[in-house]
A and B are shown apart, each in its own frame.
Chain A
Amino acid sequence: MSKAIQTIVFVDDDRIQHMINRKNMLRLKEDLNLQFFENPFSALDWFASNDADLLILDVNMPEMKGWEFLDRLKVLNKTIEVKMLTSSVDPDDIEISTQYNMVSGFLVKPLKNDIMAEILGL
C-alpha cells in the first residue's frame, strides 16, 4: 500500500450490505470518506468529477456487470485500485480479471473486518 486509503467507493446493488459495510468500516477508521452506490451509473457520474483510493465493486449487478463498469471507468481515464466483490468466487471471473490491471483481488461477501483492516493498512 503506497499511500493511505482515505476515499473508498462501494458499488453494489445490495443496500443492506452497504449499511453493514458502512458501520464496520467506520468502526475500523472513523475519518474514512465512504461513497456507497446501489446504481452503477450514479457511481460513474460521481467518478466523472471525483477520485477514490479504492473501489469495491460487485461483479454481478442487474444494471451491468462489474467488468462493464471497469470498461467505462477506463474511458474516463481512471486508474484506481479495485477489489471485486462477489457472493462466490467463480473461476471464470478470475480468468476475466486477468485482463484488468486495476483489479488487485476478490472479496467474498460478507466483508470480514480483519481483511478490511489489512487492506486499510491498520
Chain B
Amino acid sequence: MIKDRKEYQILIVDDNKGDRVLIEAYLEDTIILPKISEAESFFHAKKIIENNPNFFDVVLLDLSLPDLSGEGLIRSIAELLPETPIIILTGYPDVDFSRKSLKLGIADYQLKDELNPLALYKSIIYAIERKKVTNQLISSEKRYKDLFQLSPMPIWVYEKVTLKFLAVNKSAVETYGFNEGEFLSMKITDIRPVEELPALYQAIQNDLSKKGINLSGVFKHQKRNGEVMDVEVYANDIDFNGKSAKIVLINDITFKSKYIQAIETQNKKLKEIAWIQSHIVRAPLSRMMGLIELINVEEESNNLSDDLKQLIQFIRESAIELDEIVRDITIRTEQIKID
C-alpha cells in the first residue's frame, strides 16, 4: 500500500492508552509521518492546544473522558479549535447522538470496533478537505456580512409586502438611534414624519415598475430622538432568505440641504441689496444729476465765473461716475444665479 507522504499534525484525545496505541498503529499504516500528540483528559488536551494554537490538522476525540464527556466535551474542544476538523472515535454506538454531534460541527463519528486503518485515513482526509471548504465559506460569508455591516453608510433590507425591516447595518443603528432589535420590530413607515407617508407610498408604487438599482428619491426620515433628516434613498431588489425584499442605501443630505438653503437665503439678500442700490441709493443720486443739469442750463443765462463752471463740471463727472458704479453693482448682483 502506498503511504501518504504529507506531514499531519494529529491530536489524539483518549483516556484509554490501549486505544491510543491502536489508533497510532492504524495511522502509521497509511501515513508515513504522522506527528501525533496525545492527551488523556480534556484538561490535558486544553493545555496542549493552548500551547500550539492553529497547529493541528485533525483531532481524534474519544467521547468520554474522566473530566468531561459528550456534548460538553465536543463544544469545548470545538471552541478551542474552531478551524480544525474533529473526528469522534467512540466505543458506544448511539445513532441519535452521532447525528446530533454532526450538527455541533463534528466532521465524522466512528465506532472504534469498526475502525480499520483505511477507514480512519479516509475519514481524516475527507474531514480535512471538507473543513477547508467550510472555512472558506465561513470567511466568505463573513466578508460579505462585513461589507453590509461595516459600510459607512446606513443600509437596510425590508420586505416588500409587509414593509418590515429584515436587516440593518451598524451605520443605520448609529445614524437613526434605534438598536437592531427595535429596527427589526419596525416597518419603514415608522422612521418617517406622518406627513411624509403619502410620498413614501407613492415612491413604493413607482418602484414596482423599476428594475435594478435606482434612486428612489429624496425623503425626510425621522431619528429615534425625533430629529428629521433629508436623505437620498437608493434601492435595489434582493431575495432575502426567500423573501422578496429591497436593499436600501441611505445618503444623509441634511447638511447639503441646509447649505443650499443658506446659499439661497444669501442670494435673496444679495438681490435685496441690489434693489436697494438701484432704487434707494440711486434716488438721491438721480436727484443730484437732475440738479446739476439744471445748473448747467441756468449757467448759460447767468454769468458764472470759469472757476465755478469748472467746479460744476467736476461735480457732474463725479455724479456720472457714481451712477455707473451703482449700475455696475446692480448688473453684477443680477448675474448671481444658482442652478
Q: Mark A84-122, 1 if CB is under 8 A from B, else 0.
A: 001110110000000000000000111101000000000
Residues of A within 8 A of B291 (CB): 16, 20
From known contacts A16-B287, A20-B287, A110-B289, infer whether A87 and B282 are also in contact, taking CB-CB under 8 Å: yes
Residues of A within 8 A of B282 (CB): 87-88, 109
* B334 and chain A: residue at smallest CB distance: A91
* A15 and chain B: residue at smallest CB distance: B287
Q: Mark A8-37, 1 if CB is under 8 A from B, else 0.
A: 000000101100110110010000000000
Q: Is the CB of B297 within 8 A of A88?
A: no
Is the interface on chain A under 10, 10 to 19, 20 to 34, or 35 or more residues?
10 to 19
Q: Is the CB of A17 within 8 A of B279?
A: no
A60 within 8 Å of B by Cβ? yes
Residues of B within 8 A of A90 (CB): 275, 278
Q: Is the CB of B278 within 8 A of A109?
A: no
Residues of B within 8 A of A14 (CB): 283, 287
Residues of B within 8 A of A91 (CB): 334
Q: Is the CB of A17 within 8 A of B290?
A: yes
* A12 and chain B: residue at smallest CB distance: B283
Q: Is the CB of B283 within 8 A of A109?
A: yes
* Most chain A CB within a 10 A radius of its CB, from B279, B286, B297, B334: B286
Q: Mark B277-318, 1 if CB is under 8 A from A, else 0.
A: 011101100110111011001000000000000000000000
* Most chain B CB within a 10 A radius of its CB, from A20, A108, A111: A20
Q: Mark B82-97, 1 if CB is under 8 A from A, else 0.
A: 0000000000000000
The CA of A62 and the CA of B204, in the complex, are separated in Å by 52
From known contacts A87-B279, A88-B330, A90-B278, infer whether A17 and B286 are also in contact, taking CB-CB under 8 Å: yes
Residues of B within 8 A of A88 (CB): 278-279, 282, 326-327, 330
The CA of A90 and the CA of B278, in the complex, are separated in Å by 9
How close is A122's CB to chain B, nearest CB, in angstroms?
16
The CA of A21 and the CA of B283, in the complex, are separated in Å by 14
How close is B318's CB to chain A, nearest CB, in angstroms?
15
Number of interface residues of B (CB under 8 A): 18
The CA of A45 and the CA of B33, in the complex, are separated in Å by 121
The CA of A111 and the CA of B282, in the complex, are separated in Å by 13
Residues of A within 8 A of B294 (CB): 20, 23-24
* B291 and chain A: residue at smallest CB distance: A20
* B327 and chain A: residue at smallest CB distance: A88
Q: Is the CB of A110 within 8 A of B279?
A: no
* A111 and chain B: residue at smallest CB distance: B290
Q: Is the CB of A87 within 8 A of B297?
A: no
The CA of A27 and the CA of B294, in the complex, are separated in Å by 11
User: Residues on A close to B: CB < 8 A?
Assistant: 14, 16-17, 20-21, 23-24, 27, 60, 86-88, 90-91, 108-111, 113
27 A–B pairs (Cβ distance < 8 Å), ordered by A: A14-B287, A16-B287, A16-B291, A17-B286, A17-B290, A20-B287, A20-B290, A20-B294, A24-B293, A24-B294, A24-B297, A60-B279, A87-B278, A87-B279, A87-B280, A87-B282, A88-B279, A88-B326, A91-B334, A109-B282, A109-B283, A109-B286, A109-B290, A110-B287, A110-B289, A110-B290, A111-B290
Q: Which 9 A-B pairs have the closest CB atoms?
A: A110-B290, A88-B278, A109-B286, A20-B290, A87-B282, A110-B286, A87-B279, A16-B287, A110-B289
Besides A20-B291, A109-B286, 11 more A-B contacts (Cβ < 8 Å) are: A16-B291, A86-B279, A87-B282, A87-B283, A88-B279, A88-B327, A90-B278, A109-B283, A109-B290, A110-B286, A110-B287
